[in-house]
Structure 1
Amino acid sequence: MRRLMLGLVLVSPLARAADGSWSGESFGGVMTHGQMVVKSKPVHSPSSLSASAVASHVHWKIHMDGLTPVGFRIRLCSATRCLTLPGVAGEQPLPAGMSAAGPFRFEYYSVAGGRLNVPLTVLSNQITVSYRNPR
């Protein structure tokens, strides 16, 4: 019976997918003016990944020291493309072609012009990238 169960697990598509994930964190930066792009420090996999590893899903959580300015936008960027995020925390699938190893960085922008009454400090960017190693 035990061998039968093991055989079923090994035949499962999930077992063959060789999925994994990694997490990282970086400092976000300080926004003092509207209409300026603030870029976070890059985040990448703490260990080397297979060259065939493909990013599939991302979870993120961003901690700030205050309220966001009018028209505040967040983008998650890889070396090849950027993805607009719908809020300061969440999860979503990643488009095909994004490297699983990173580096990833966050970009912050506000459509409001001029100096912000209170500067916004992005204290941390937390990210978890799920990936697949296709066979």
Structure 2
Amino acid sequence: MKSGVLIAMLLAFPLTAGAISGSWSQTAASGVISVGKQAVPGSRLAPSGSIPASATVTQISWRITLLSPQPPGLQIKLCTATACFALDSLSGQKRFTTAISAQGPFRFVYAVAHRGQVVPPVRVVSNQLTVNYR
């Protein structure tokens, strides 16, 4: 009887109880895209407090606010020091299965796909990033 209770308790205990999970969020203003085919990096985004060095990203959420309507051909990437990930909209969520450090820093990088002057210029009022990690 006691062994049955012990087994039930062990099965109820989550396997990830030792894993530390959490999230952080940052919002920053960004730049102006006035010329096509030119990459414009946003502000550096990183956690304001300390997180474990081993923490890896499980999911990100983002929201980007523009001063004017989104132009055709707007390309948005979220970059770390080692990789960039294409984002297909001004807001959304993306799950990660590869080990990306949750410590960052991260930067949004913007471009417009056509050559020449962008009229009106694209003004990025804010970009918000929320990083969930484990």
**TM-score bracket for the superposition, by shorter chain length:** 0.7 to 0.9
Return the alpha-carbon distance in structure 2 between the equivalents of residues 122 and 10 of structure 1: 47
- Per the normalisation by structure 1, the TM-score is 0.86
Q: Structure 2 stretches of 5 or more lacking a match?
A: 1-5
- Per the normalisation by structure 2, the TM-score is 0.87
1:33-90 CA-partner distances (Å, limit 9, x unpaired)? 1111110011001111111111111000000001222211100001110000110000
Q: How do 1:51-90 residues align onto structure 2 when only pairs under 5 Å count?
A: 51-90=53-92
State the partner residue of 1:46. Answer: 48
The question of whether the paired residues in 2 share the 8 Å contact of 1:10 and 1:16 is answered with no
State the partner residue of 2:18. Answer: 16
Quick one: which of 91, 97, 111 aligns to 2:99?
97
Q: Structure 1 stretches of 5 or more lacking a match?
A: none
CA distance 1:76–1:95, shift in 2 (3 Å): farther
The alignment partner of 1:113 has SS state of: coil
Structural RMSD (CA) = 1.9
Larger Rg: 2
